[in-house]
Amino acid sequence: MEKDINHILESIKNESKNFLENNISLQTYEIKTFCNKLNHHTSIITLEDDTFLCRVIISIEKELFEAIFSEFIAGEIEESQRDELAIDLSNEIINIIVGLSTRNFPKKFSHLILSTPLYLTKKEVRKIIEKKQFQSFEIITSLGSFNSYIIMDKNG
Amino acid sequence: MLNIMLVDDSTVIKRILRKELEAMGHTIVVEAKSGKEAIELYAIYKPDLVTMDITMPIMDGITALKKIRKDHKDANIMMITSHGEEQRVMEAITSGAKGYVLKPITRVELEIAIKKIFPTP
């Protein structure tokens, strides 16, 4: 189980770094192997098959998120649309990163299904993480931190 | 140039698709945010091409694809999907989807996928 979660964590870490460096053209300075900080924009996605269930959370600091927002959302935006777009974008980021990561998962996880991502409040995230074992990492960039938590719920 | 319908529950993805497709000279005739809405709007607008998300609330993209193709045998539907959904993409292709584009969406990938459906003579 620990080997599996480490493999999943490594894949997500690598794709997160690639995403920040290649899609947003940001330099990543440091990757910490543990974090317990929740950032401004947080989404969750579930990876599941008959015997395995794992939840991935990605949490992005405000300034960093704004940079990603500017990169993805071109053109004029009505102020009333901004929150909806931010939620959508946070969910798309986790969908893209975790989706890309699955290419490098162990073969036994080739039938995992990705859920629809959900945007969460800090309170909701704390409730999910509370009393659960999780692995995490934090990528530091010049614009703030990018954090991820991987929680294993079921393993056959 | 093509008249295109975008079907996606994500406003972000629809904005990215609109920007890239319009830059390629195509026209977005209508947008839908669920499979159910797509079926209704397809019958009204009869677009040359539909970009269809797979995972959507109310009705997913594969169900909508099957329903549209049942009533409109010549419908050109291209799936927009994430890595990790390859099994569902295969189901879409066997159900009549003409191609697919994986996220993150790029103009190059869109051009390649559209050229496969509409090869220039």
pLDDT tens profile A20-29: 999 888 989 8
Q: Residue B29: give its domain's CATH number.
A: 3.40.50.2300
Q: Looking at the domain A2-154, which fold is it?
A: Chemotaxis protein chec (3.40.1550)
Chain A nearest CA to B101, separation (Å): 13
Q: Is residue B121 part of a domain?
A: no
Q: Is residue B112 part of a domain?
A: no
Chain B nearest CA to A87, separation (Å): 9
- Taking CB atoms and an 8 Å limit, are A92 and B10 in contact across chains? yes
Among B13, B82, B103, the residue to mutate for chain A (most A Cβ within 10 A)? B82
As for how many domains chain B has, the answer is 1
- Taking CB atoms and an 8 Å limit, are A92 and B19 in contact across chains? no
| pLDDT digit string, tens, across residues B11-41 | 999 999 999 999 999 999 999 999 999 999 9
- Taking CB atoms and an 8 Å limit, are B84 and A23 in contact across chains? no
Write down the ipTM of this complex: 0.77
Nearest chain B residue to A110 by CA distance is: B84
- Taking CB atoms and an 8 Å limit, are B83 and A23 in contact across chains? no
Tell me which residue range forms the domain holding B87.
Answer: 3-106
Confidence band, pLDDT 50/70/90 cuts, at residue A140: very high
CA distances from A32 to A25, A117, B78 (A): 20, 25, 40
Chain B residues touching residue A89 (CB < 8 angstroms) = 12
Q: Is residue B21 part of a domain?
A: yes
**Residue A156 pLDDT exceeds 50:** no
Q: Is residue B113 part of a domain?
A: no
Q: Is residue B56 part of a domain?
A: yes
Q: Is residue B44 part of a domain?
A: yes
- Taking CB atoms and an 8 Å limit, are A99 and B84 in contact across chains? yes
- Taking CB atoms and an 8 Å limit, are A114 and B57 in contact across chains? no
Q: Is residue B76 part of a domain?
A: yes
pLDDT for A78 = 86
Provide the number of CB pairs (under 8 Å) joining chain A to chain B. 53
Which long-range CB contacts under 8 A does A101-105 form with residues at least 24 apart?
Answer: A101/A8, A101/A11, A101/A12, A101/A14, A101/A15, A101/B84, A102/A11, A102/A47, A102/B83, A102/B84, A103/A11, A103/B83, A103/B84, A104/A10, A104/A11, A104/A14, A105/A7, A105/A8, A105/A11
